[in-house]
Amino acid sequence: MEFNAATIAGFLKGEIEGDPEIKVNTITKIEEGQAGALSFLANPKYEHYIYTTKSSIVLVNKTFVPSAHIGATLIKVADAYEAFASLLRLVDQARPRKQGVHKSAVIEPTAKTGSDVYIGPYAYIGENCIIGDNCSVYPYVYIGDNTRLGNNCIINPGVTIYHDCVLGEGCIIHAGTVIGSDGFGFAPRSDSEYMKIPQLGNVVLEDHVEIGANVTIDRATMGSTIIRKGVKLDNLIQIGHNVEVGENTVMAAQTGISGSTKIGKNCMFGGQVGLAGHIKIANGTKIGAQAGLLSGIKEENTIVIGSPAIDLKKFLKSSIIFKNLPELKTKVDTLGKEIESLKKT
């Protein structure tokens, strides 16, 4: 598809500096720009590329003031990154969508599928399942009995959704993810063996949840493991049984949440964060990468980092001490020798 600067600016409600009729037919990084391409500049670290890029159009923030001549046509918007994401979404939605049920797919007689669905090769839809309108279920997906998908869900190849789970509207599940596998529940016996505790609950994903590749979300022992509306999970994340993740919370890769932990709204977790079980995390909490929490956070909008995690400001002060520990040890050893020498005299 091809669009000119005037059309793009109109869609984004932006201001044009340059040729409103110049056209683009592709999207590239600003450092890899080429004629006929659209790029964006949001991070000041990349500003030097805007003076040499060959891209025809560049999205920039309204606050951007160039320090040299720019050959590209600029479209100034309130938030260049958000505007660029909107354009990518528009292009993605314009792609042709698969429809129909492949002859190798297995849909049990008691299952119901909505209108305009796509069921790919070797997908399996269990007894009493409900698949909403405009859903796409790609090859080798397994959807267990009594599971329900809302409208406009996308289930990518190789996803497994166990029985009795519930997905809201507009959910996206990426390849290899497992939803509803048994929670890690075992009762110790006197003979040092463990008895499996049946996991009789389910998993509930509310509307517009996106789950990355190779994520596991365990079903509840009783009740539900709940991922609230608008949550975004990166790849390789483990969510334990009976966990609740609040609305619009985001987590980066390799995060692990132990069972029965309750996470508030609008939280942000860096990569490899680990949370102990049965704790509560307040709304708006931000947790730095590789942080570990053994206890909950009560105050909203707290920022912590480290393992065990502590307040960000304390961590930054402590990190200075960490770096100086070798020198401090040398000083302490020297003082110790001097004290011993004084004692002898």
Catalytic residues: 241
Structure tokens at 41: 């500049």
The Cα–Cα gap between 284 and 302 comes to 7
Q: Per-residue DSSP letters for 115-157? A: TT-EE-TT-EE-TT-EE-TT-EE-TT-EE-TT-EE-TT-EE-T
Structure tokens at 322: 């960490």
The Cα–Cα gap between 69 and 174 comes to 43
B/e letters for 110-123, b = 16+ CB within 10 Å, e = fewer, are ebebeeebbbbeeb
Q: Per-residue DSSP letters for 290-305? A: T-EESS-B-STT-EEE
Q: Where are the alpha helices (DSSP H) in the chain?
A: 5-12, 80-93, 312-344
- Cis bond leading into 109, ω under 30°? no
Structure tokens at 176: 């290899």
Count Cβ atoms within 10 A of the Cβ of residue 238 and give its class: 0-12 exposed, 13-18 middle, 19 or more buried.
middle
Bridge partners, residue 274, by sequence = 256, 292
The Cα–Cα gap between 162 and 166 comes to 10
The Cα–Cα gap between 209 and 223 comes to 20
What residue type is assigned to position 111 of the chain?
A
Structure tokens at 188: 């110790």
Number of helices and strands in the chain (H, E): 3, 40
Report the Cα–Cα distance between both ends of the chain, in Å, rounded.
90
Q: Is residue 289 within 8 Å of 272, Cβ to Cβ?
A: yes
